[in-house]
Amino acid sequence: MARYIMTVDLRRCIGCQTCTAACRHANATPPGVQWRKVLDIESGEFPDVRRSFVPVGCMHCGDPPCMHVCPSTATYQRADGLVGINYELCIGCGYCAVACPYQARYIVHKREFAYGDRPTEQEEARFDPNRMSVANKCTFCSDRVDLAKEKGLTPGVDPEVTPACVNSCIAGVLAFGDREDPNSNVSQLLAENQFFRMHEELGTDPGMYYIFDTK
């Protein structure tokens, strides 16, 4: 069975936030909600200063704490590893949000708009009332991934069935694919490079792999 993951090549990221914008466009997230965002981290002391750009979001953990705590079974894990939320079941208790060590979950109670107190045409067209007062998060664009079988395409290779953030990345930082397939793009990247996963010590088996150097 597939296990879809994302690789992030930290050597390449320039912090342009195009992935953030693409995600917001694809998923119509409201102001303040960023399913995909890029951290801009300055570290060290002059003259030895580093600046790291780190894309973060839901890690689609192999052992997701958000799913275990969910009292309504709204949070679920698919056979291909993607973690999703059933908005019809969610009671908006926020337990998943405090269980997630990646700060990847959002709950919006009040409709807000990017410009002023009226929705733009796009915001009006894409508004989903089912997402109000319930938990929401990155889906790894599962709606696109689901089209792969029907269309005979490969997620991570064919843009039509690949997450929007990956498609939009101008620096080739993000890659998406099947970790279980040794020939997939992500498996190849992980075989050739050194990587880490964030907060791995918490036992969540996160599905975002950060590449930091060649082997």
x/- letters, 143..182, toward other proteins (CB under 8 A): ----------------------------------------
x/- letters, 105..144, toward other proteins (CB under 8 A): --x-xx---------------------xxx----------
Residue (of 11, 1, 36) closest to 139 by Cα position? 36
Which residue, 35 or 176, has its beta carbon nearer to other proteins?
35
CB of 43 to other proteins, least distance (A): 5
Query: What is the three-class DSSP state of 178?
Result: strand
- Count of CB atoms situated within 10 Å of the CB of 34: 19
Q: Using an 8 Å Cβ cutoff, are 7 and 189 in contact? A: yes
Q: Candidates 92-100, 115-123, 152-160, 184-192 — which segment interacts with other proteins by CB under 8 A?
A: 92-100
Q: Candidates 83-91, 139-147, 164-172, 184-192 — which segment interacts with other proteins by CB under 8 A?
A: 83-91
CB of 154 to other proteins, least distance (A): 28
Position among 2, 6, 22, 56 found at the interface with other proteins (CB under 8 A) = 56
3-state secondary structure 1-57: CCCEEEEEECCCCCCCCHHHHHHHHHHCCCCCCCCEEEEEEEEEECCEEEEEEEEEE
Which residue, 37 or 144, has its beta carbon nearer to other proteins?
37
Which amino acid would we find at residue 182?
Answer: P
- The residues near 5 (Cβ < 8 Å, ≥ 6 apart) are 60, 81, 176, 177, 178, 179, 186, 207, 208, 209
Q: How many angstroms separate the CA atoms of 58 and 36, rounded?
A: 8
Position among 25, 149, 172, 202 found at the interface with other proteins (CB under 8 A) = 202
The residues binding other proteins (CB under 8 A) are 10-11, 32, 34, 37-41, 43-44, 50-52, 54, 56, 65, 67-74, 89-95, 97-103, 107, 109-110, 132-134, 194, 196, 198-200, 202, 204, 210-213
